[in-house]
């Protein structure tokens, strides 16, 4: 029997109308109708997964009684979201709460060497440089500059559950990369620009090549070009979906 992700259950619960005949929520419309981009739907699931992880962490440490009353109440009852903007705002508020509770010990934590060494890759537009984080301080500084929640992943990175990298390039904003081990080797779990923006396509291609998945990428690009030729218009973010894997909640 296939297990169902708690993240998906919570998202579906938020999308479900509370009363028969009620108009669809804005979040429903954005995800299911208004947003043609699969990237946007994946981003919603990634944000919600991060929200649930950060809520769980704040429940354990420092504990709900040590949080501002509004935060504790929202976490305890399970906050609902009427739009992507509301989900993003709550994600950012939780991220700030987590970062404020980073300890000196966490800042000094040493992150294990990643399984794949960093590299500098030449591309058509310039270069892409991939480097793993060495300490908790490096990771937290990056998360603050990028305005996202990677800081909460510090304990998982120190424990070797996954590996995190900074991806710099000469032609695109700084990116953040998370890789996990799959049956077929190391694969991308998340790759986002600042504030969880979708990745630059050339940066994504360079990361895939670095992971030894160039042939997969070329086959996918060929398939997407065929779809484009048949249907015309833009193949909106379809390129983004297939290199990624799901990671179990932990």
Q: What six digits make up the tokens of 220?
A: 């996918």
Predicted local confidence at residue 46, as pLDDT: 80
Per the CB < 8 A criterion, the answer to whether 54 and 102 are in contact is: no
Predicted local confidence at residue 128, as pLDDT: 96
Name the residue with higher pLDDT: 65 or 21: 65
Predicted local confidence at residue 245, as pLDDT: 43
- The torsion of the CA quartet 232, 237, 243, 249, rounded to 10 degrees, works out to -140
Predicted local confidence at residue 198, as pLDDT: 82
Tell me the pLDDT tens digit for each residue of 138-171: 998 998 888 888 888 888 899 888 999 999 999 9
* pLDDT exceeds cutoff 90 at 119: yes
Dihedral sign, Cα of residue 191, residue 194, residue 141, residue 66: negative
59-63, 199-203, 220-224: range with highest mean pLDDT = 199-203
Euclidean distance between CA atoms 154 and 139, whole angstroms: 7
pLDDT band at 236 (very low <50, low <70, confident <90, very high): very low
Q: How far apart are the first and last CA of the chain?
A: 20
CA distances from 114 to 157, 180, 207, 213 (A): 9, 11, 15, 18
Mean per-residue pLDDT for 82-110? Answer: 84
Of 76, 102, 77, 81, give the one whose Cα is nearest residue 91.
81
pLDDT band at 135 (very low <50, low <70, confident <90, very high): very high
Euclidean distance between CA atoms 126 and 138, whole angstroms: 25
Mean per-residue pLDDT for 128-146? Answer: 92
Per the CB < 8 A criterion, the answer to whether 108 and 137 are in contact is: yes
Name the residue with higher pLDDT: 150 or 6: 150
Predicted local confidence at residue 70, as pLDDT: 83
Mean pLDDT of the chain: 76
What DSSP letter does each residue of 132-188 carry, written as one string? E--BHHHHHHHHHHHTSSGGGGHHHHHTTSSEEEEEEESSS--EEEEEEEETTEEEE
pLDDT band at 93 (very low <50, low <70, confident <90, very high): confident
Domain boundaries along the sequence of the chain? 6-101, 106-241
Tell me the pLDDT tens digit for each residue of 165-221: 999 999 999 999 999 887 778 888 888 888 888 888 899 889 988 988 777 777 767
Name the residue with higher pLDDT: 11 or 72: 72
Predicted local confidence at residue 234, as pLDDT: 47
Mean per-residue pLDDT for 30-44? Answer: 60
């Amino acid at each position: 029997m296939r297990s169902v992700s708690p993240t998906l259950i919570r998202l579906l619960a938020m999308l479900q109308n509370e009363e028969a005949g009620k108009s669809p929520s804005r979040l429903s419309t954005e995800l299911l109708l208004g947003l043609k981009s699969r990237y946007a739907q994946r981003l919603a699931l990634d944000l919600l997964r991060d929200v649930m992880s950060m809520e769980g962490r704040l429940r354990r440490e420092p504990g709900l009684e040590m949080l501002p009353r509004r935060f504790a109440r929202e976490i305890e009852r399970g906050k609902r979201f009427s739009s992507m903007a509301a989900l993003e705002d709550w994600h950012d508020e939780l991220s700030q709460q987590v970062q404020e509770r980073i300890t000196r010990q966490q800042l000094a934590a040493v992150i294990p060497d990643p399984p794949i060494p960093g590299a500098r890759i030449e591309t058509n537009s310039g270069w892409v440089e991939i480097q793993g984080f060495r300490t908790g301080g490096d990771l937290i500084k990056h998360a603050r500059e990028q305005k996202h929640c990677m800081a909460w992943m510090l304990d998982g990175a120190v424990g070797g559950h996954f590996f995190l990298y900074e991806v710099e390039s000469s032609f695109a904003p700084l990116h953040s990369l998370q890789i996990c081990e799959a049956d077929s080797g190391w694969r991308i779990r998340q790759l986002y620009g600042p504030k969880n923006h979708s990745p630059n396509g050339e940066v994504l291609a360079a990361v895939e090549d670095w992971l030894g998945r160039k042939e997969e990428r070329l086959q996918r690009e060929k398939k997407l070009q065929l779809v484009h030729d048949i249907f015309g218009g833009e193949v909106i973010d379809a390129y983004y979906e297939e290199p990624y894997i799901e990671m179990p909640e932990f």
